[in-house]
Structure 1
Amino acid sequence: MAVRLLGIAFVTGFLAAAAVGPAAIPLLRRLKFGQAIRDEGPAWHAGKAGTPTMGGVIFIVAALFGAFLLAMPSAELYLVAFAFLGSGVIGGLDDGIKIALRRNLGLTPLQKLAAQGLLAAVFFRQYVATGFSTALETYAFGRVELGAAYFFVVLLLFLSATNAVNLTDGLDGLAAGAMLLASAAYAVLAWYGSRFDLAIFNAALAGALGGFLLYNAHPARVFMGDTGSLALGGALAASALLTKTELLLVWLGGLFVIEALSVILQVASFKLRGRRIFRMSPLHHHFELVGWSEWQVVLAFWAAEAVLAFSAVAWAIGR
């Protein structure tokens, strides 16, 4: 029954995204929602300039449609949907400013931090009000009750997950495919943890990302933009919090962690030593610059995330 229902959720999300894409992409193009390409990126990425962005609305609509069609209304469903949609709205504001001002910088870091902090605070308030645990699962020492201090865990996960997914979204299909795998893993984990509505949401999101890849795989006809990458990070953070896998997320979402660490290490090395570790960061650009094709990088990174995500699930279920 579990496999069948999760499969139905996946197919529903996939078909919804596949159906929304042909209407959304021409609309984004008519509205001139074209992507600006950062100057410091690989030179051959300049050809992608003008590709419609904010395509994250495709899988946001599709995933929410599939989840609310098939899942029972519950606190966990509303919480993950709030994190997903709320983070997408912040990303949409960021994208909107970039488009309106014709620049590659949207919200300032302080504005984005304030918006995400407010989102995390509202999420935490409702999380506590509906009776979810404020204990941190440490595995080695069991669950450690944090009480009100658990808010900082919520804030850290929202900030780190959204920024890590955003940094990973640099090649056609890379972030969407990696998040499809992470969402599928969380669908399994949530089901085994009796978080059935959360499992259905993640299955629908995985399917919606599959449908989105019909238009986002190389050569991409649409980009997800910050609208999509921040929404995905919000869903990832909420899924970790609701399944009490806050620390396991580092393993399950390991590709996103590696991409973010590559940027942190690159900046730290340059500031401290005046030397770069990688030819370019995030890490996917390094592999491009050493001669890998875009498809080779994407497929290798998808494979890495598949191993990380499902080995984490196997460990969590088996312990």
Structure 2
Amino acid sequence: MMEQVILFTILVGFLISVILSPILIPFLRRLKFGQSIREEGPKSHQKKSGTPTMGGTMILLSIVVTTIVMTSRYSELSVQTYLLLFVTIGFGLLGFLDDFIKVVMKRNLGLTSKQKLFGQIVISFIFYFILRQNEFSTTVSIPLTDISFDLGWLYVFFIIFWLVGFSNAVNLTDGLDGLVSGTAAIAFGAFAVLSWNQEAYDVAIFSLAVVGAVLGFLVFNAHPAKVFMGDTGSLALGGAIATIAILTKLEILLIIIGGIFVVETLSVILQVISFKTTGKRIFRMSPLHHHYELIGWSEWRVVVTFWTVGLLCAVLGIYIEVWL
């Protein structure tokens, strides 16, 4: 039974993405929803200008349909399911608005940082409010120790920090063909294992739906990419994985399982701090994946290396939670 649920959920998510992509990609191209490439980015990326973006819409559609269909069949649509869909769709819509402003209104930076942050905080606060209405635990535990903290009403700030932080972290990582698609599939796969181990089958099915959706998208997003997910996809995926970590009470373990996203974000933070304080850059360019491109690595080599590190992080996270 377990193997059937896992296989069918991934397969349904995969097929929906694969079927939608050949329909949506030409549609996006006709609407001229093409990606604008930053002038300061690697020169090799300039040839990607005009590649259809906002492909995250097909990921979102696949996740929502697969989750509802498979959860209704093999589990039940619980509060957790609705919360996962709410945050994923909410952050996805915020990303969609950002992408729309970039590609249609030709404002390359999209929403301002304050506008985007405000939207993320509102979604996070609503998520927290629903959790508290359902008497959800406000305790945060430290892996490999018996230490835990009951944050009480301060938990709202933790949730806002986690959702905003990881949605932006995945967004920063989305800079190379297939990079986020692959690392997300690995990270969500790890949380599917951990959710199933907790018998949180509704969360596990959602996680498997994401795995199938992003793997289907990867067929068209692998180098050379025929479509980019845009902020529509990356913000949604970041918000979703943070929500899963919160619902399974594995908040801190997300730092390990999502290690690639954390390191990418830290590279940006360190670069900014170093440049503002010393006038020198630590990396040739941040986020970190661009640094490796600029020292001569091919795009595919960077992506495969990051996938491999992401897989090691996921295995380590599972090992810590299940076997230690």
Residue 140 of structure 2 aligns to a residue whose secondary structure is strand
Matched, 1:16 2:21: no
Distance 1:188 1:111 in 2: 36
Residue 63 of structure 1 aligns to a residue whose secondary structure is helix
Q: Give the alignment's TM-score, normalised by structure 2.
A: 0.96
The reply on whether 1:302 has 2:286 as its aligned counterpart is: no
Letter in 1 for 2:151: L
CA deviations 1:82-125 (Å, max 9, x no partner) are 11110000001111111222132111111111100100011011
TM-fit CA distance, 1:47: 0.5
Tell me what 1:260 maps to: 265
What secondary structure, in the 3-state scheme, does the structure 2 residue paired with 1:101 have? coil
**Is residue 251 of structure 1 aligned with residue 264 of structure 2?**
no
Amino acid at match of 2:217: F
**What residue number does 1:77 align with?**
81
Equivalent in the alignment of 1:209: 214
- Note the C-alpha offset of 1:242: 0.4
Deviation at 1:188, TM superposition (A): 0.5
Contact 1:36/1:103 (8 A) holds in 2: no
Quick one: distance in 2 between partners of 1:3 and 1:285? Answer: 39
| Residue 217 of structure 1: how far off its partner (Å) | 0.4
Instruction: Trace 1:49-198 onto structure 2 (pairs within 5 A).
Output: 49-71=49-71, 72-139=76-143, 140-198=145-203
For 1:63, give the aligned amino acid: I
How far apart, CA to CA, are the structure 2 residues paired with 1:118 and 1:10?
31
Instruction: Provide the C-alpha distance between the structure 2 equivalents of 1:90 and 1:233, rounded to a whole number of angstroms.
Output: 12
2:92 counterpart SS class: helix
5+ residue gaps, structure 1, are none
User: How many angstroms apart in 2 are the aligned matches of 1:303 and 1:46?
Assistant: 27
CA deviation profile, 1:145-168 (whole Å, cap 9, x unmatched): 122111011101111101110010
Q: Percent identity?
A: 48
Within 1, Cα distance between the matches of 2:315 and 2:17? 25
Cα separation, 1, equivalents of 2:7 and 2:277: 50
Q: Whole-Å Cα distance in 1 between the matches of residues 191 and 7 of structure 2?
A: 14
RMSD: 1.0
Which stretches of structure 1, 4 residues or more, deviate above 3 A after TM superposition? none
Stretch deviating more after TM superposition (94-103 or 286-295):
94-103
Name the aligned partner's letter for residue 82 of structure 1: F
Residue type at the aligned position of 1:293: S
Aligned residue-pair number: 319
